[in-house]
Amino acid sequence: MNYLHKFIALSLLISSFLQSCKNQDQVNVSLDTEKLKVRIAEIEIAPEFREEYLSILREESEASVRLEPGVICIYPMFQQDNPNLIRLLEIYESEEAYQSHLQTPHFKHYKGTTLKMVKSLELIDVEAIDPESMSAIFLKLKS
């Protein structure tokens, strides 16, 4: 991949991140941090589908945050040394919010159209060490 392609891909991912995480005005200040569902999705994409996959992923992550009150963040990124290895940081208000997300038309479209593009998928549930600091992170993004 040449420099221009790398620059464009990185620019699109940064733009996607800024649109895919709620700013401080959208974060529920009474969020129950003990109910949070935080997950890292590790996805390997077939190289021939990378650009198409990223386009569909951007649409899905933006729609999820914009349309679903329980989706706090879907932050897509890729490994620098292997851009076909996609990582998503997903933060939901609760398990119920996550289950609701799985039933939305935009997620079903994403899943159905990208299934052939994915070589591997691993979903890793994690726990935040300091979930109370989350609002400070989003506040910094706003500035």
Contact residues for 96 (Cβ-Cβ < 8 A; gap 6+): 70
Q: Mean per-residue pLDDT for 108-130?
A: 94
Bigger pLDDT: 133 vs 76: 76
The partner residues of 85 in beta bridges, in order of sequence, read: 44
In terms of C-beta density within 10 A (0-12 exposed, 13-18 middle, 19 or more buried), how is residue 44 classed?
middle
Bridge partners (DSSP) of residue 79 are 82
Q: Is the pLDDT at 12 greater than 70, yes or no?
A: no
The model's confidence at residue 2, banded by pLDDT at 50, 70 and 90, is: low
Report pLDDT digits (tens) over 25-76. Answer: 444 456 777 889 999 999 999 999 999 999 999 999 999 999 999 999 999 9
Please state the domain count of the chain: 1
Q: With a cut of 70, say whether residue 117 has pLDDT above it.
A: yes
Domain range for 48: 3-142
**Does 118 score more than 70 pLDDT?**
yes
Q: CATH code at 31?
A: 3.30.70.100
